[in-house]
């Protein structure tokens, strides 16, 4: 499943991740899948066509940009590099 509030959010920020895997490389097979999804989003083909009916174009572009960034640097986020307390406090 996808949490649309995180996955397609326009604002850049840390997404949900299992911290045990922080700093690990993303397997090549998953990178290939991500490239395919990015191409589908850019070309408006495949399952991505349905997303264009459900989301704003800016939301799709935001997730496409995140995919491109992960493909370029295929390493899961590491908590040690970031603030470990949610901001802002409630």
pLDDT in tens, 2-46: 666 677 778 776 556 567 788 899 999 999 999 999 999 999 999
Going from N- to C-terminal start, the domains of the chain cover: 4-78
Place 52 in a pLDDT band, splitting at 50, 70 and 90: very high
pTM score, two decimals? 0.74
Q: What is the pLDDT of residue 76?
A: 84
d(CA 34, CA 65): 11
Joined together, the tokens standing for residue 41 give 């989003």
Burial profile 62-82: b = 16 or more Cβ within 10 angstroms, e = fewer: bbbebbeebeeeeeeeeeeee
């Amino acid at each position: 499943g996808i949490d649309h509030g995180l996955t397609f959010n326009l604002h850049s920020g840390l997404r949900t991740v299992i911290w045990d895997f922080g700093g690990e490389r993303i397997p090549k097979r998953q990178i290939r899948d991500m490239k395919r999804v990015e191409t589908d989003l850019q070309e408006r083909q495949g399952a991505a066509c349905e997303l264009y009916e459900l989301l704003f174009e800016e939301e799709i572009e935001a997730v496409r940009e995140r995919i491109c960034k992960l493909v370029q640097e295929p390493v899961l986020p590491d908590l040690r590099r970031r603030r470990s307390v949610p901001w802002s406090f409630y």
